[in-house]
Structure 1
Amino acid sequence: MSKPIYLAIASPKGGVGKTSLTVLAASILHYHRGYDVAVVDCNHPVYTIARLRQQESEELNHQRLMRLKHRASYVTYPIICTPVREALNRVERHCADNPPRCILFDLPPLMRTEGTVELLSAMDAVVFPVTGSPMDMEAVRHFIDILGEQILTMGKGNIRELYLLRNMIEAWERKDADERCRTLSDETGVLLMQTSLSHSRLCRPLLSERRRGVCTLFPPHGGKLSRLCIELGNELHEILQRLCTE
Structure 2
Amino acid sequence: MNTVYMAFANQKGGVGKTLFTTLVASYLHYLTKINVVVVDADYPQYSIVAARNRDLDLIQRDEYFKRLAYNQFSVIQKQAYPILKSIPAEAIKTADDYLQNKIPNVILFDLPGTVQSEGVLKTLAGLDYIFIPISADRLVLESSLSFARTIQKAFVNNKSTRLKQVFLFWNQVDARENKSMYEVYGRIIRGMNLVLLESHVRDTKSFRKEILQERRIIFRSTLFPASKRFAHDSNVEALVLEIAKIVLA
TM over 0.5: yes
Task: Give the distance between the partners of 1:203 and 1:34, measured in 2 at CA.
Answer: 25
- Matched with 1:215 is 221
- Matched with 1:234 is 241
1:56 and 2:55 aligned: yes
Instruction: Return the offset for 1:107.
Output: 1.8
- Matched with 2:164 is 160
Letter in 1 for 2:243: L
1:202 and 2:206 aligned: yes
User: Are 1:169 and 1:177, in contact at CA under 8 Å, matched by a contact in 2?
Assistant: no
Aligned in 2, Cα 1:170/1:145: closer, same or farther, shift over 3 Å? same
1:77 and 2:77 aligned: no
The Cα offsets for residues 95-148 of structure 1, whole Å up to 9 and x where unpaired, read as 111121100112212222212222111111110000121111100111122213
Q: Which has the higher contact order (CA 8 A, sep 6+)?
A: 1
User: Which of 176, 179, 195 is the aligned partner of 1:175?
Assistant: 179
1:96 counterpart SS class: coil
1:113 and 2:117 aligned: yes
Letter in 2 for 1:235: E
Task: Give the distance between the partners of 1:19 and 1:38, measured in 2 at CA.
Answer: 14
Aligned in 2, Cα 1:97/1:10: closer, same or farther, shift over 3 Å? same
Task: Give the distance between the partners of 2:181 and 2:22, measured in 1 at CA.
Answer: 24
1:11 counterpart SS class: coil
Aligned in 2, Cα 1:32/1:184: closer, same or farther, shift over 3 Å? farther
1:12 counterpart SS class: coil
User: Are 1:202 and 1:214, in contact at CA under 8 Å, matched by a contact in 2?
Assistant: no
Paired residues for 1:25-40 under 5 Å: 25-40=24-39
Letter in 1 for 2:66: L
How many residue pairs are counted as aligned between the two chains? 241
User: Any unmatched runs of 5+ in structure 2?
Assistant: none
- Matched with 1:146 is 150
- Matched with 1:13 is 12
Instruction: Return the offset for 1:193.
Output: 1.2
- Normalised by the size of structure 1, how large is the TM-score? 0.89
- Matched with 2:46 is 47
Residue range with higher mean Cα deviation, 14-23 or 51-60: 51-60
